[in-house]
Amino acid sequence: MENVGLKNSEHIGMIAIDPNNSNTVYVAAYGPLWSPGGDRGIYKTTDGGKTWNQVLKVSENTGFNEIHIDPRNSNVLYACAHQRRRQVFAYVNGGPESNLYKSTDGGATWNIIENGLPTVDKGRIGLAISPVNPDYLYAIIEAGDKKGGVYRSTDRGASWEKRCGNTTSGNYYQEIFCDPKDVDKVYYVDFWVMVSTNGGSSFEKIGEKHKHVDNHALWINPKDTRHLRVGCDGGVYETYDNGANWQFKANLPVTQFYKVSTDNAAPFYNVYGGTQDNHSLCGPSRTTSANGIPNSDWFFTQEGDGFETQVDPENSDIVYPQSQYGGIGRFDKKSGEVVDIKPVEGEGEPALRWNWDAPLLISQHKHTRLYFAANKLFRSDDMGNTWTAISGDLSRQIDRNKLPIMGKVWSMDAVSKNQSTDIYGNITTITESKLDEKRLMIGTDDGLIWYTNNGGANWAKIDNIAGVPERTYVNQVLASQHDAKIYYATFNHHRYGDFKPYVFKSTDAGATWTAIQHNLPERGSVYTIAEDHVNPNLLFVGTEFGVYFSIDGGDSWTQLKSGLPTIAIRDMEIQKRENDLVLATFGRGFYILDDYTPLRNLKKEDLGKDAWIAPIKESWLFNEKRPFGAPLKGFQGESYYSAPNPKVGAVFTYYLKDDIKTLKEKRKAIEKDKIKAGEPVYYPSADSMRLEDGYPDPYLLFTITDSEGNVVRKMKAPAKKGMSRIVWDFRYNSPGPVTFETPDPTNPYDVAEYGFAAMPGNYNVSLSKFEDGKITEIVPAQPFKVNSLNAASLPAADKNALNAFCKKVSEIRRVVSAADSYRDELVNKMKYIKQAIIDAPATLNDAAAQAREIDRRLNDVNTRLNGDGSLSRREFEVPTSISARIGTIEGTMWSVSSAPTQTFITSYETASKQLTPVLEDLKRIDNDIKMLESVLEKNKAPYTPGRLPVWK
């Protein structure tokens, strides 16, 4: 479906599809919440969305939140118009233009239906048609003067009766639903899910034991009305007993985070954030588990809507989470205790005005010093035990109730006036200079920036920055870590209907400002900015639709997209020790870009080089745990959520300027240009076609060597241009036979074989290309270091001895698996040879006897290599085979860092001794088969695999 004619709606209220013709679709276009205009109204398509026509519009201030089709007659339509406006300073959720509309001719004409409905200003209206009897309509109406409630019509909207005074907040809820089987049973969603069994005369809670509240969507199973699904602020829940018990759908990573921060825990840091109505959270950035990071690894640090969290940089057990309107606490991770440390105005002082998301900062100069802001800036030097205001009221001190909305100043009785909004005039952001503890800067929700260079004794007001609209919300100010006079600011004007990016830089402590948004998309408000702590020209911004970086101080921006959905990035944190960029998205959880240092070191001239490998970060060597007994989610099923850990290994970031193309790709590129130019495209010569068909696919080859130059591993990668990453898992190549089979992801036991782990130490990696049958080095060896995590309780004391033993095991594993594969090939040969003996023109009795004897000898080799299958199938005890001895050693030693047991050492010695005569027997059998094949060829027997025919 195309969005022709609906490009500026911003918010679609509802879609209704004609039950008799799926190409006829109606859309209720809500329009922007923040400004007039946009695509508001009811739109209709009759060609499946190719073209749209507006069939109903009220005004620039009123949109439509619902559209319904009578199931008996698709020409009968009902639409809910909603007049509302929300801006930074205030909210009005209703007006005279909020009404119910009805059409009986497929939207050609419309009438307001109001007989029996409130005549005062109305807010949001929720509507439902009973599927039992579509003459019955239910509406939940938000209205002034306490006239709101649940209304019912039994005559298709011609008249209405108020059933009760229940209503909800139109800003959050106001949805009503009819039961599919009982015309008198109706639900509406609110903080609780409410149900009526008497046609809306009264409602009661259905029951939400162990379920999150704040409900927004409800589905009722038409075949079993006790089966419900509810969408709420906590996610999706399902009940099969009408709310007595609920099942949570825990596998939806859709958390809305306002802010993000990190600590310095070792070896892996933790991530903290505040969520929309799901508390403040903490969880690991990664773990040592092959099962990833499940929900159970996360814990709450404080209840309520969560916002800015800060962590003591010297003691990660001390956390400062907060809830809405400045509800800050000091959380002790060890005990789980939370102490409320919110500043309170003194007796006789004016009340404080807190932002929904109040700014919080821990000083870079003293870890016990906090900065926290309402409309004043507070400082604590004792971890929040006491607070001192170091500013006066830094807002414009505007009376928001005197500002016009939708063209006029509204009375205090306007529908939902100012509900769930910040009290206008507060501080939204704080920054402190790393280079001078007395330099502070703040921003406000009414468009002011203030600066002090003496710790708050005096403040300089910064206003009317050229290029920034009046009273624009200051989303973030940021002090540079490299120059005490450089500051950055992001302004966000989307709550006035302006979605342009506003990113500014000052080089004189705020006296003057320069716009640096440059080539950022014109539509995409900016929320946050981050500056690299090493390279002052490397900047990141988080926008409504993703994250961008600049390597030239903001002159140009490039989007970071790989693996990141299109989503609002509300906040960013750079974890300096690891050089990770951590993102707080509003609807898809946290995202981490591991080790962004290749961007730090990137220069424009680097993109002109043929290829390079970026400096390689030191990495941790460890064996992953498997607490679920299998990788990833184990046997927990898809309903279990687990975020995969980053791959264990050394990460190589590399760049290739151009694709290495095959002859076919080169030919097609030339032909494409000819087609564009209108030139004829002729067939190449016969020789050229043959060369093209036989041309090998190019690839890249990474070669890893140890400190002595010994090759440890080679890894193949596609020869595709651009910046990419590949991970070496610290392992030598598999000692098993070459295979092209891909493990079945649905089978947890089908895992690709891997080699033993390399030692911690210094390594090098070079990059070569394979092109036209030749391997050519294109990036010389680059050094990197591998460190041991030392996570084991009983690690091997002698690492060199451990490494030597694993090498011996790997080699015998290579030989044993090769011998067994060769034996299997000989068994397969014999299958064809025995048939060829039968099919030969002559009678070959001696050959048949020889074949039978060879089969017996091959069975004997198989027993020694793999065990006595005849007895084991019949549940008899059998001696341990060579393969079983080596397989047991390999299965353990490849996944531990401890020394081999004496049992393993003895088993290796036994297997080594037993293997020699087996190989000798295989050689003799192989020779005898070749002799048998020569007999077959002399007697003109049919072809058998591996036998070259003789021609004279």
Q: Is 457 exposed, middle or buried (0-12, 13-18, 19+ CB in 10 A)?
A: exposed
Supply φ then ψ for residue 805, to 5 degrees: -65, -45
Residue 659 to residues 124, 378, 639: CA-CA distances in angstroms?
A: 56, 57, 41
Supply φ then ψ for residue 63, to 5 degrees: -115, -175
Q: Hey, which residues does 302 pair with through a beta bridge? A: 280
- Return the number of other C-beta atoms located less than 10 Å from residue 887's C-beta: 16
Specify the higher pLDDT residue, 888 or 33: 888
Distance, CA of 762 to CA of 786 (rounded, Å): 6
Is the separation of the CB atoms in 640 and 718 below 8 Å?
no
Residue 931 has pLDDT above 60, yes or no: yes
29-48 burial string, b = 16+ CB within 10 Å, else e?
Answer: bbbbbbbeebbbbbbbbeee
Tokens found for residue 545: 């639709």
Quick: pLDDT tens for 771-804. Answer: 999 999 999 999 999 999 988 899 999 999 999 9
Quick: pLDDT tens for 399-435. Answer: 999 999 999 999 999 999 999 889 999 999 999 999 9
Distance, CA of 868 to CA of 856 (rounded, Å): 13
Supply φ then ψ for residue 476, to 5 degrees: -160, 140
Tokens found for residue 800: 């060199």
End-to-end CA distance of the chain: 72
Q: What is the pLDDT of residue 5?
A: 53
Is the separation of the CB atoms in 777 and 762 below 8 Å?
no
Quick: pLDDT tens for 617-652. Answer: 999 999 999 999 888 898 999 999 999 999 999 999
pLDDT band at 546 (very low <50, low <70, confident <90, very high): very high
Distance, CA of 261 to CA of 241 (rounded, Å): 41
pLDDT band at 248 (very low <50, low <70, confident <90, very high): very high
Host H or E run for residue 885:
helix 882-893
Selection from 296, 301, 248, 297 nearest residue 275 by Cα: 301
**Strands 318-320 vs 310-311: parallel, antiparallel or unpaired:** antiparallel
Token pair 């698996």 in the structure block, residue: 817
pLDDT band at 806 (very low <50, low <70, confident <90, very high): very high
Q: What is the pLDDT of residue 713?
A: 97
DSSP 844: -
pLDDT band at 1 (very low <50, low <70, confident <90, very high): very low
Token pair 């970071």 in the structure block, residue: 560
The dihedral sign for the CA sequence 837, 839, 841, 843: positive
Question: What average pLDDT does this structure show over 347-376?
Answer: 97
Q: Where are the beta strands (DSSP E) in 546-595?
A: 546-550, 558-560, 569-575, 580-585, 590-593
Question: What average pLDDT does this structure show over 436-450?
Answer: 98
Residue 6 has pLDDT above 70, yes or no: no
Residue 434 to residues 118, 259, 364: CA-CA distances in angstroms?
A: 59, 21, 6
Quick: pLDDT tens for 43-72. Answer: 999 999 999 999 999 999 999 999 999 999
% of the chain residues with pLDDT over 70:
99
**Strands 774-788 vs 619-621: parallel, antiparallel or unpaired:** parallel
Residue 458 has pLDDT above 60, yes or no: yes
Q: What is the pLDDT of residue 4?
A: 45
Q: Is 557 exposed, middle or buried (0-12, 13-18, 19+ CB in 10 A)?
A: buried
| Angle, CA 270 vertex, CA 267 and CA 276 arms, to 5° | 170
Is the separation of the CB atoms in 902 and 802 below 8 Å?
no
Is the separation of the CB atoms in 91 and 476 below 8 Å?
no
Distance, CA of 327 to CA of 384 (rounded, Å): 12
Residue 240 has pLDDT above 50, yes or no: yes
% of the chain residues with pLDDT over 90:
94
Is the separation of the CB atoms in 285 and 577 below 8 Å?
no
Quick: pLDDT tens for 162-197. Answer: 999 999 999 899 999 999 999 999 999 999 999 999
* Residue 458 CA to its chain's centroid (Å): 44
pLDDT band at 731 (very low <50, low <70, confident <90, very high): very high
Contacts of 25 (CB under 8 A, 6+ apart): 1, 15, 16, 17, 18, 44, 45, 48, 49
Host H or E run for residue 907:
helix 902-938
Distance, CA of 140 to CA of 170 (rounded, Å): 10
Quick: pLDDT tens for 460-517. Answer: 999 999 999 999 999 999 999 999 999 999 999 999 999 999 999 999 999 999 999 9
pLDDT band at 604 (very low <50, low <70, confident <90, very high): confident
Token pair 């007659």 in the structure block, residue: 73
pLDDT band at 7 (very low <50, low <70, confident <90, very high): low
Residue 183 to residues 136, 197, 203, 530: CA-CA distances in angstroms?
A: 8, 9, 15, 56
Residue 10 has pLDDT above 80, yes or no: no
Contacts of 616 (CB under 8 A, 6+ apart): 650, 651, 652, 653, 765, 782, 783, 784
Residue 909 has pLDDT above 50, yes or no: yes
Tokens found for residue 528: 């946050």
Question: What average pLDDT does this structure show over 197-219?
Answer: 97
Question: What average pLDDT does this structure show over 577-605?
Answer: 96
Q: Is 166 exposed, middle or buried (0-12, 13-18, 19+ CB in 10 A)?
A: middle
Residue 656 to residues 239, 702, 716, 769, 853: CA-CA distances in angstroms?
A: 53, 13, 14, 10, 58
Among the residue ranges 28-37, 659-668, 854-863, the one predicted with the least confidence is 28-37
Is the separation of the CB atoms in 727 and 650 below 8 Å?
yes
Strand order in the sheet with 427-432: 427-432, 440-444, 449-452, 460-462
Q: Hey, which residues does 539 pair with through a beta bridge? A: 531, 550
Q: What is the pLDDT of residue 631?
A: 84
The dihedral sign for the CA sequence 721, 726, 731, 735: negative
Distance, CA of 91 to CA of 466 (rounded, Å): 28
Is the separation of the CB atoms in 569 and 547 below 8 Å?
yes
Distance, CA of 318 to CA of 264 (rounded, Å): 12
Q: What is the pLDDT of residue 765?
A: 98
Distance, CA of 402 to CA of 422 (rounded, Å): 16
Question: What average pLDDT does this structure show over 553-569?
Answer: 95
CA torsion angle 902 907 913 918 (round to 10): -170
Is the separation of the CB atoms in 783 and 838 below 8 Å?
no
Specify the higher pLDDT residue, 363 or 7: 363
pLDDT band at 555 (very low <50, low <70, confident <90, very high): very high
Question: What average pLDDT does this structure show over 262-290?
Answer: 96
Q: Hey, which residues does 66 pair with through a beta bridge? A: 80
Is the separation of the CB atoms in 333 and 318 below 8 Å?
yes
Question: What average pLDDT does this structure show over 568-575?
Answer: 98
